[in-house]
Structures are given as structure tokens and as C-alpha cells.
Amino acid sequence: MKTPRRLIETAVAAQKMAYCPYSRYPVGAAVLTESGRIFAGCNVENASYGLSMCAERSAIFSAATRGQRGILAIAVVANKSKPCGACRQVMFEFSTKETELYLVDRNPTTGKQHVTKTTVYKQLPGAFDPLEAGLLPANPSNLLRRKR
């Protein structure tokens, strides 16, 4: 992906939809799937904190409900953007070694942003790999490419 502009713009728009009355920490995410489609997600909190959902998983689950399994790139937008461990594991499940991750540190007051480009694979060293554990059926196309 030469420029993640559209992906980041989608994540910024999703951030504006965040429901975060408890933390007041809005997060937006967007995933680009192998089909070229982009899916957005935002964090949605609940008074019973354990029932809250992060933006990254929201976007990935939205893509999955539409039959999308392989992710080419992910953008996460927040003030000091860093995906939690649960989100890193879910991102890993749908990614390859090449899946790009754009961490967008966006100042809520000025709107200025700094983008850090990395990969999902680098963000979770020692990840639980369901392919290596023998838990997946034959030919999970997104994970098999990891072995190249």
C-alpha cells in the first residue's frame, strides 16, 4: 500500500463515532481486506467495563461478518494510539507477516497527527498462532501465507 490516506481517513471518521462516556478516550480503526474493501470500527464502552469493545476488534469483526478473512492493512487512530493485547491477538489471527499497521497519534485538540508504520506481526512477539497449534482446518488462506 503506497498511501494509507483513505484507510486513515476512515479510521478518523470512526473515531468520531466512538461511544466512550467512561474513559473519554475515543479510538477509531479501519481495516483493508484482501478484496479491497475497508471496514471501520470504534470503541464502544459499557458501564460493565468487561462488556466494552475496542475499535480494532469492532472493525475486524465487521469485516468477518461480511465474509472477509484476510487483512492487508489496519489503521488505528487515538491520542497515543496503541492496540491492547486482545486486539493484537485478534489482528494477528487475520493477518500475514506483511499486514501493515498504521498507528496514528492524533491530537484531539489540534487534529495534528503523527503516523507510525509497522506490521501486525511485529506488534505481538510470541503470539499464539492457531496454525502452529493445529487448531485450524486445512487452507486458512490468510494464515498459510505466514509460512512463506
Active-site pick, 9, 34, 56, 100: 56
13 in helix, strand or coil? Answer: helix
Strand partners, 102: 75, 117
- Give 137's DSSP letter: P
Q: How far does Cα 144 stand from its chain's mean position?
A: 20
Lookup result for grid cell 479491497: 36
34 flagged as catalytic: no
69 in helix, strand or coil? Answer: coil
Between CA 54 and CA 86 the distance in angstroms is: 9
Residues noted as catalytic: 56
